[in-house]
A = this chain, B = another copy of it.
Amino acid sequence: MWTFRTITGNTLLSGSAWLLFCSLSGFCRTGSRLRSWRNSMQAYKQLEGRFAQVTALREIASFMSWDRSVLMPEAAVNQRARQMEVLNVLIHDLQTDSEVGALLAKTDRKNLDPWQAANLDVMEWLYQHATAVPAHLVAKKMNQETKTEVIWRKARADSNFKMVQDELARLLDIVREHADVKSKKLKKPLYDSLMDGYAPHMTSAEVDVVFDDLAAFIPPFLTAALERQKEPLPLKGPFPQAVQEKLGRDLCGFLGFDFKWGRLDTSTHPFSMGIGDDVRITTRYDENDFLSSLQAVAHEAGHGFYDRHTPREWHHQPVGASGNMGMAIHESQSLSLDMQLARSREYWEFLTPHIQKTFGKSGPEWTAENIYRNAIKAERGFIRVEADEITYPAHVILRYRLEKKMVEGKLEVKDLPEAWNASMKELIGAVPPNDKLGCLQDIHWYSGAFGYFPSYALGAIIAAQLVDKMKRDIPDVAAQVRQGNIGVFTGWLRDNVQAKACLYRPQQLVEKATGQKMSTHFFKKHLTERYLEKAYEGEGSCSNTSAPGAKRRA
């Protein structure tokens, strides 16, 4: 017996009721068309059953990984690797079963409603990536990721790259094995075959165009902005961690991030994970700098809202998991908060009295304008997650270029610190004094994520474009933020982006939400208005960066 499920997940009509409905309404297919349609729907429903399992197990795996980074006793690294290996092999087996391929082939997209069709597309994308790499190689990578990440934590604390060098080299070897296998199966260049797992349908050739454009724009713009910048009064600490934690929790409240369905914890590198009613974000603390931790809360809350606001009725399916949309859109949500909202003058006008009260501070450096100036202070700095909006894409371009070389075998792990520093000099004009401030700062490579970085800069570009449209839709949004009505800002993102989950492909989503193709125009316009406080005189809104694309994730 087959049944129909509406997008709310309720059973709508049983097969026989449907037949009755068909004959009464005259809306009936011929016998053979009906049969083929029924087979197709049956196959789709079987896929939903299978992917409900996969989705739950992936949630569990994320969750075990959250625990590993936040809470797990340090001795448990190998034991956790064993558990994760079993879990991931199982997920891999469920996703790559030949039955999945057969069911995908049997399902006819034109019988599906738009959400079902989008769900099918995500399943196909997942299936493609999952079947590209054999199970033993997946397990091997997970195992080495766990080991490398734990040693990275120590190496980073000690600013000692050599400590983790061999483990990272071992991990890179495995990553390159993955890339080699994937590249052949997906018929993409080595690096692209990895990047497609994070930024579906984007090619490195296109990324090169975007990044070359920004790399040309940023250096002269940075110089202009630094020349114009008045040094803000420093915000002197110490800011005790417990007080910062309270401030972070208060900020969550202002943003609408509710601890009934969320958590805020501490980890070496801030991150977010979860879905729906269990969304967990982390930050880290520096007792001399409360802004760094506070911006991380805004950033991760941006990710968290995406995880929170995908449609509840699709949470159990791939189309409902925001992560399947690709990381560029996900980063656009975190950067909409971190960069667009939380570096706006109005935001600091609202937040300043609360900050003064929390830390018991007053005086000329504790005005909204001065805190704002601190928050948007541009500099030739070392740390990506603390970078200003101008240098941020340059940090990403650096990582993109290095990881591409590593994957292509053109850069060895032992030469990474030197290459990093050379690239910093070229792109940011500053060389970090040690590896903790250099190539040890980010968790990505040490946890096996190669091909992820470009999405960060794409996210910044998309965020600027989304917020530009938001301001046209809601002309008083800045005034609302100044009043503390931040829900107006986050609500627009919820309705126009987050609630769509994976219904559209990323480039389509941008076009639906903003009425225009993805373009660097809005990002340059935004930087010009904020940092030079003048109108942008660049080219119009036509894009030289719109991603190609006929089909969604297929």
CB-based contact A56/B260 at 8 Å:
no
Chain A positions 33 through 59: 1 when the CB is less than 8 Å from some CB of chain B, otherwise 0: 000000000000000000011001101
CB-based contact B82/A316 at 8 Å:
yes
The A interface, classified by DSSP as helix, strand, loop or mixed, is helix
CB-based contact A277/B76 at 8 Å:
yes
Q: How many copies does the complex hold?
A: 2
Taking CB atoms and an 8 Å cut-off, the chain A residues in 254-269 that contact chain B are 259-263
* A73 adjacent to chain B (CB < 8 Å): yes
Taking CB atoms and an 8 Å cut-off, the chain A residues in 56-93 that contact chain B are 56-57, 59-60, 63-64, 67, 71-80, 82-83, 85-87, 90
CB-based contact B60/A83 at 8 Å:
yes
Chain A positions 263 through 284: 1 when the CB is less than 8 Å from some CB of chain B, otherwise 0: 1000000000001111100000
**Residues of B contacting A78 with CB < 8 Å?**
277
Which of B85, B261, B315 is in CB contact (< 8 Å) with A73? B261
**Residues of B contacting A261 with CB < 8 Å?**
73, 75-76
- Complex Cα–Cα for A77 and B260 (A): 11
CB-based contact A80/B316 at 8 Å:
no
**Residues of B contacting A64 with CB < 8 Å?**
60, 63
CB-based contact B263/A79 at 8 Å:
no
**Residues of B contacting A86 with CB < 8 Å?**
52-53, 56-57
Which of B52, B73, B263, B315 is in CB contact (< 8 Å) with A278? B73
| A166: min CB distance to chain B, Å | 22
Chain A positions 86 through 120: 1 when the CB is less than 8 Å from some CB of chain B, otherwise 0: 11001000000000000000000000000000000
| A252: min CB distance to chain B, Å | 12
- Complex Cα–Cα for A244 and B124 (A): 54
Among A73, A275, A315, residue most surrounded by chain B Cβ atoms (within 10 Å): A73
- Complex Cα–Cα for A552 and B259 (A): 48
**Residues of B contacting A75 with CB < 8 Å?**
260-261, 277-278
Q: A56-B82, A64-B63, A90-B90 are in contact. Are A71 and B263 (CB under 8 A)?
A: yes
CB-based contact B53/A90 at 8 Å:
yes
Closest 9 CB pairs of A and B: A76-B278, A56-B86, A75-B261, A75-B277, A76-B277, A56-B83, A79-B277, A75-B260, A73-B261
Q: A86-B53, A86-B57 are in contact. Are A67 and B63 (CB under 8 A)?
A: yes
**Residues of B contacting A87 with CB < 8 Å?**
56-57, 60
CB-based contact B60/A276 at 8 Å:
no
Residue of B nearest to A77 (CB): B277
Chain A positions 193 through 218: 1 when the CB is less than 8 Å from some CB of chain B, otherwise 0: 00000000000000000000000000
Taking CB atoms and an 8 Å cut-off, the chain A residues in 268-324 that contact chain B are 275-279, 315-316
**5 A-B contact pairs sorted by A residue (CB < 8 Å):** A53-B86, A56-B86, A75-B260, A75-B278, A76-B278
**Residues of B contacting A72 with CB < 8 Å?**
278
- Complex Cα–Cα for A52 and B139 (A): 15
| A54: min CB distance to chain B, Å | 9
**Residues of B contacting A315 with CB < 8 Å?**
79
**Residues of B contacting A71 with CB < 8 Å?**
263
Among A72, A259, A277, A316, residue most surrounded by chain B Cβ atoms (within 10 Å): A277
**Residues of B contacting A259 with CB < 8 Å?**
73
- Complex Cα–Cα for A278 and B502 (A): 37
**Residues of B contacting A263 with CB < 8 Å?**
71, 73
| A440: min CB distance to chain B, Å | 23
Taking CB atoms and an 8 Å cut-off, the chain A residues in 396-419 that contact chain B are none
Q: A56-B85, A56-B87, A76-B276 are in contact. List 11 more A-B contacts (CB 8 A).
A: A56-B86, A57-B87, A60-B83, A63-B67, A73-B259, A73-B278, A74-B260, A75-B278, A77-B277, A78-B277, A80-B278
**Residues of B contacting A276 with CB < 8 Å?**
76, 79
Taking CB atoms and an 8 Å cut-off, the chain A residues in 314-337 that contact chain B are 315-316
- Complex Cα–Cα for A64 and B65 (A): 12
| A366: min CB distance to chain B, Å | 30
**Residues of B contacting A59 with CB < 8 Å?**
83
- Complex Cα–Cα for A82 and B77 (A): 27
Residue of B nearest to A94 (CB): B90
| A88: min CB distance to chain B, Å | 11
- Complex Cα–Cα for A211 and B57 (A): 44
CB-based contact A73/B316 at 8 Å:
no
Chain A positions 115 through 142: 1 when the CB is less than 8 Å from some CB of chain B, otherwise 0: 0000000000000000000000000000
